[in-house]
A and B are shown apart, each in its own frame.
Chain A
């Protein structure tokens, strides 16, 4: 397996699209109901937690880009292979593929849960799971450029929904934000920790980096995308805090969707029907980007053809969704997933960066000693 990949030029996409990719993969099933989880920890100072978590995400992305810059055009699989060698590298790569597959499962299952509660209580899980799966296969088969295109469209078609916040703002009670810093620092940090599930997704950069056309602009556009998500999270959190009272927020599972409940139209039963249907577009990039990355991994690590592994993975996801039956099971699975995800998404990049630095320094020393001028990035382990 080559550590660096040099995709054919027609497969590359402009760095500018990274804004849409990062934004669309971060905004997903976390956003409809993240308020309650954060407020449980940090009360009416929850918005500070959102800011803290956002800054942490920017730091992580900085480290990720620094790591990627040490190689020219490598993805995470290649870097693992380089650092850990063939066997250990493959095992760690498998863990990350599993994480990607699980994240797709979580996204689909969470969306089905929302549809079942809000729109069609009688709808069986399998029907939505099948259609979600087919849609995902269809999109991923189109290749990276289609996947990126879906992200761009997803953002463009759904961004207008932010203006709906106008309705709850009319009922805002701004004094509920006072007194600021009423919560202890520890609780604010705990709240920030709970944001990891909502913020996760930007780790996709590790996998799509080789396909970015102008690599030197990666940093700028990734941070812009991240900033957009952070601002959106912050706005929604603040509006939720002033619209709901704290006790009410703690009882509301999908606060963002509940805010839509005040929109009253004479010709429509409920506005959420539109909002939730459109949410399918929002979560689609959440599902297909990791799915694409996972099939890439199957090809890079095990040499499976992407087409075949894609079908296999989608079947696994389908079965996994069917296994999660009750709300309790779904919640337990999500908690478990977001706890593990925190370490993989927020902690691991730092460890990896240090490892890459150490390994490359060691190689440089050895290289100087043996008079080898070859840079490690040109090495191939296969």
Chain B
């Protein structure tokens, strides 16, 4: 009798187990279902603020296909809010739009000049969007760059992403992922820069960097200035640069009868570490010391590089050239009242009991004394003597 009871008890348990697991499996379908073929993966989104206050959104989609090429599609819609255009876009496509793979957010120049925080906030608020997507500013409108029918580019979103990634890894421009930009924006005494893109017929190029004050674009920088910004800002690994040096002091080492006034040299393998120190707290004064190692790749004149004194003079000339260009850049940034080097942030972390806001920092920064010193070491000059 008792054994029988036990048996039925076990049976009931088994039935309950099967029943609950059955329900569990069924219910997994109750949450949002997503089939890859039904999705339109957004790879890039562009924002342009219209004159009537509406936002023109452009998004580049990547479709999955069973066979053949995965086609891309561009959708354009207008809405009042940043997120609103997605709804309008859904009406225009057979696929469900998802935003998890957005790799680039592009803003039109006019939009950037009016302020980007509204757009960046809306993106960073969305749990479905990662923080490693790149932000960039388009010359003209974002719509123009994203919706142009390129001949050779399959998916413009991924293309721009790769272009930026390649150049950031190659130390050509400052990295501008959403996280870094938002981080800089929220740091008092630190401004961000974004890549500045331009479309030339069938190609998209990085024209330079867009300079921001708080969240408003106030100017642009050439790639060369971007290079200096990167050197001043933090560590630098493996870059390349052309320099023009005066030949006066090198006269002795130059072979040949006629000596030109300028000597062009090309240096590569540039590695640098920058150390910024606040030397005066009352009247902000900074010392930026940059240690630099490089290889000489090309010299326009024949110079005897074996002589120690030649190298000494060359090093001195390179230092001076770097210092001159850095100072020009810093002066420009000071006049524009924007601080992408992050001197204000350093100042803020070096003083106690004073809460520095960006508004308070800009006037201080404008008159701050910034001394740049380069300490170059020439490692070699290629495989030839």
Chain A residues close to B by CB (< 8 Å): 117-120, 122-123, 127, 131, 134, 171, 173, 175-176, 178-179, 182, 243-248, 251, 258, 261-264, 269-270, 272
Contact residues in A for B177 (Cβ distance below 8 Å)? 262
User: How far apart are B188's CB and chain A's nearest CB, in angstroms?
Assistant: 8
User: How far apart are A46's CB and chain B's nearest CB, in angstroms?
Assistant: 15
Interface flag for B182 (CB, 8 Å): yes
User: How far apart are B228's CB and chain A's nearest CB, in angstroms?
Assistant: 21
Q: How far is the CA of A261 from the CA of B130 in the complex (A)?
A: 5
Interface 1/0s, chain B 99-115, versus A by CB < 8 A?
01100000000000000
Contact residues in A for B98 (Cβ distance below 8 Å)? 269
Contact residues in B for A247 (Cβ distance below 8 Å)? 186-188
Q: How far is the CA of A171 from the CA of B351 in the complex (A)?
A: 24
Contact residues in A for B127 (Cβ distance below 8 Å)? 117-118, 261, 270, 272
User: How far apart are B122's CB and chain A's nearest CB, in angstroms?
Assistant: 13
- Selected from B31, B128, B132, the residue in CB contact (under 8 A) with A264 is B132
* B349 A262 Cβ-Cβ under 8 A: no
Contact residues in B for A269 (Cβ distance below 8 Å)? 98, 100-101, 128
Contact residues in A for B24 (Cβ distance below 8 Å)? 131
Q: List 14 A-B contacts (CB under 8 A).
A: A122-B32, A134-B20, A179-B350, A179-B352, A182-B352, A245-B184, A245-B186, A248-B182, A248-B183, A261-B130, A262-B130, A262-B179, A264-B130, A264-B132
Contact residues in A for B130 (Cβ distance below 8 Å)? 261-264, 270
Q: How far is the CA of A248 from the CA of B100 in the complex (A)?
A: 21
Which of A118, A244, A251, A269 has the largest number of chain B CB atoms within 10 A?
A: A269
* B100 A261 Cβ-Cβ under 8 A: no
User: How far apart are B376's CB and chain A's nearest CB, in angstroms?
Assistant: 26
Chain B residues close to A by CB (< 8 Å): 20, 24, 27, 30-32, 98, 100-101, 127-132, 177, 179-180, 182-184, 186-188, 190, 345-346, 349-353
User: How far apart are A255's CB and chain B's nearest CB, in angstroms?
Assistant: 12
Instruction: Output the nearest chain B residue to A269 by Cβ-Cβ distance.
Output: B100
Which of A127, A134, A171, A261 has the largest number of chain B CB atoms within 10 A?
A: A261
* B183 A173 Cβ-Cβ under 8 A: yes
* A176 B20 Cβ-Cβ under 8 A: no
Additional pairs, 11, CB under 8 Å, beyond known A118-B127, A243-B183, A269-B98: A127-B27, A179-B349, A182-B353, A245-B190, A247-B187, A247-B188, A248-B182, A261-B131, A262-B132, A269-B128, A270-B127
Known A179-B352, A258-B131, A264-B130; judge A120-B182 contact (CB<8 A). no
* A245 B183 Cβ-Cβ under 8 A: yes
Known A175-B346, A182-B352, A270-B100; judge A123-B186 contact (CB<8 A). no
Q: How far is the CA of A269 from the CA of B98 in the complex (A)?
A: 9
Q: How far is the CA of A120 from the CA of B34 in the complex (A)?
A: 12
Q: How far is the CA of A270 from the CA of B129 in the complex (A)?
A: 8
Instruction: Output the nearest chain B residue to A179 by Cβ-Cβ distance.
Output: B352
What number of residue pairs across chains A and B have CB atoms under 8 A from each other? 70
User: How far apart are A113's CB and chain B's nearest CB, in angstroms?
Assistant: 12
* A178 B131 Cβ-Cβ under 8 A: no
Q: How far is the CA of A178 from the CA of B180 in the complex (A)?
A: 19
Which of B20, B24, B101, B177 has the largest number of chain A CB atoms within 10 A?
A: B101
User: How far apart are A187's CB and chain B's nearest CB, in angstroms?
Assistant: 12
* B32 A270 Cβ-Cβ under 8 A: no
* A127 B350 Cβ-Cβ under 8 A: no
- Selected from B27, B180, B187, the residue in CB contact (under 8 A) with A171 is B180
Which of B27, B127, B184 has the largest number of chain A CB atoms within 10 A?
A: B127
Known A178-B349, A178-B350, A264-B130; judge A127-B186 contact (CB<8 A). no
User: How far apart are B287's CB and chain A's nearest CB, in angstroms?
Assistant: 16
The list of the 5 closest CB pairs from A to B, nearest first, reads A247-B186, A269-B100, A245-B187, A248-B186, A178-B349
Instruction: Output the nearest chain A residue to B99 by Cβ-Cβ distance.
Output: A269
Q: How far is the CA of A287 from the CA of B177 in the complex (A)?
A: 38
User: How far apart are A176's CB and chain B's nearest CB, in angstroms?
Assistant: 7
Contact residues in B for A127 (Cβ distance below 8 Å)? 27, 30
Contact residues in A for B183 (Cβ distance below 8 Å)? 171, 173, 243-245, 248
Known A173-B183, A175-B346, A179-B352; judge A270-B30 contact (CB<8 A). no
User: How far apart are A146's CB and chain B's nearest CB, in angstroms?
Assistant: 15
Contact residues in A for B353 (Cβ distance below 8 Å)? 182
* A120 B131 Cβ-Cβ under 8 A: no
Instruction: Output the nearest chain B residue to A178 by Cβ-Cβ distance.
Output: B349
User: How far apart are B170's CB and chain A's nearest CB, in angstroms?
Assistant: 18
Contact residues in B for A176 (Cβ distance below 8 Å)? 187, 349
User: How far apart are B87's CB and chain A's nearest CB, in angstroms?
Assistant: 15
Contact residues in A for B128 (Cβ distance below 8 Å)? 269-270
* B179 A120 Cβ-Cβ under 8 A: no
Contact residues in B for A131 (Cβ distance below 8 Å)? 24
Q: How far is the CA of A248 from the CA of B177 in the complex (A)?
A: 15
Instruction: Output the nearest chain A residue to B187 by Cβ-Cβ distance.
Output: A245
